[in-house]
Amino acid sequence: MTKPVIEVSKFLSYILRHEPDAIGIELDPEGWANIEELIANSDVPLTRGLLNEVVANSDKRRFSISADGLFIRANQGHSIVVDLGLEPRQPPELLFHGTATRFLDQIITQGLLPQSRQYVHLSDDKATATKVGQRHGTPIILTIPALQMHGLGHQFFQARNGVWLTTEIEPQYLQMSSDDSAIT
């Protein structure tokens, strides 16, 4: 991605997931922002063409444009409360969470909590989880028996970009992926 595309992607992540007030816009209850208002209030160089390029070419598919082309929202990762309209889904047998080893002691004690986000984020492959974990330090991959948890009543959701979401993962469900031994 080019520097302007990366800059716009970071800007959109910040505004649409965390701080729409930073540029004086409001999101509707489902997290949608008016594109014209977003462009007008943007503090980075933003055009409709650049916005469309970010949405279309983002490898993480972080954003969606509404069917009528008037609104944009983040697909997941919000620290503000939005209703993405996600319905509970049956997850695959296993899901993965990438984190840094420095967080492991806290996770062993408390489980996976959304922290400042609405949901805990999970992926359906170890490679993606590893990339996520690397952003925060030395990565460690946790394996979650999602289908088993689902059978016990835990709800899982899948965002438009494929990221799996849930409200929390208790410590007893966490396993380290390297040898599949329980961490508790």
Per-residue model confidence (pLDDT) at position 2:
79
The reply to whether 167 and 105 lie within a common domain is yes
Name the domain count of the chain: 2
Task: Check which CATH number belongs to the domain holding 39 and give it.
Answer: 1.10.10.970
In whole angstroms, give the CA distance from residue 182 to residue 32.
Answer: 40
Integer CA distances (angstroms), 7 to 13, 20, 33, 117, in order: 10, 16, 19, 22
Domain assignment of residue 166, yes or no: yes
Q: Which residues of the chain have pLDDT under 70?
A: 1, 177-184
The reply to whether 69 and 100 lie within a common domain is no
Per-residue model confidence (pLDDT) at position 92:
98
Per-residue model confidence (pLDDT) at position 59:
73
Integer CA distances (angstroms), 149 to 34, 62, 105, 172, 176, in order: 38, 27, 22, 11, 17
Q: pTM score, two decimals?
A: 0.82
- Find residue 33's DSSP bridge partners: 72
CB count, 10 Å around CB of 98?
23
Per-residue model confidence as pLDDT tens digits over 164-184? 999 999 999 999 865 334 444
